[in-house]
Amino acid sequence: MNSGKSAPGLETVERAVCGALTLQEASLVVYRSSVLVEFKTTLLQPGLVVTRERGRRTWQIGAFEGHHCHLNLALVTEVWFDAEPVSCQAGRLNYTVWFLSANDCGNPYRPKGMFSVTLNGPYREDGSPRLELIGAVYALYDSESHAAGISASEAFLAARPG
């Protein structure tokens, strides 16, 4: 996964999280050995809220009064873009932005996967790709790929729409 780049800085991680949360028809996913939680990104407005108090930085995703979660973004060591076939997309590719850590997080699918943002509906009913949704993931990758700690799988790079 890691392309040899160093870990991302907090500003890079925060920017990537903010960008991923703007993806339409997507979910923030936290998967652990006995629980899978999905938050629809459209219900997590205003997105990422960074709080600094007494020299400490904390992160909340979503409004305090609504659906929200707190994730320790300081533990993210890599932001990894991937495209792989999944059963929930009838074996077609799904597009995911992974936020990885250096340690096992208890994710049975991807042990170092702290959380991800994944597209829910990248295909129309007839199976044709929704390029406006898929293209937004590539636009996010393109805007961040220059930064340390941002990488992509070969499958993601090869699946880029024409």
Sequence spans of domains, the chain: 10-42+77-158
Tallying the residues shown for the chain, one arrives at 162
Confidence of residue 99 (pLDDT cuts 50, 70, 90): very high
| Closest alpha carbon to 15 in 160, 146, 162 | 146
Predicted TM-score (pTM) of this structure:
0.92
The residue to which tokens 């790709």 are assigned:
129
Q: What is the mean pLDDT of the chain?
A: 93
What pLDDT is stored for residue 4 in this prediction? Answer: 54
Report pLDDT for 54: 86
At 135, list the tokens.
Answer: 């293209």
In this prediction, residues 17-30 reach a mean pLDDT of: 96
User: Does residue 42 have a pLDDT over 80?
Assistant: yes
Q: Is the pLDDT of residue 5 over 70?
A: no
- Residue 88 binned pLDDT confidence (cut-offs 50, 70, 90): confident
By DSSP bridging, strand 48-53 and strand 35-40 are unpaired
Confidence band, pLDDT 50/70/90 cuts, at residue 125: very high
| Cβ-based neighbour number of residue 21 at 10 Å | 21
Fold classification of 10-42+77-158 (topology level): Heme iron utilization protein-like fold (3.40.1570)
Q: Please, what sign has the CA dihedral across residues 86, 89, 92, 98? A: negative
Enter the tokens of residue 88: 């929930």
Who has greater pLDDT, 4 or 101?
101
∠41-25-61 over CA atoms, to 5°?
5
Distance CA 33, CA 29 (A): 13
Q: How confident is the model at residue 63 (pLDDT cuts 50, 70, 90)?
A: confident
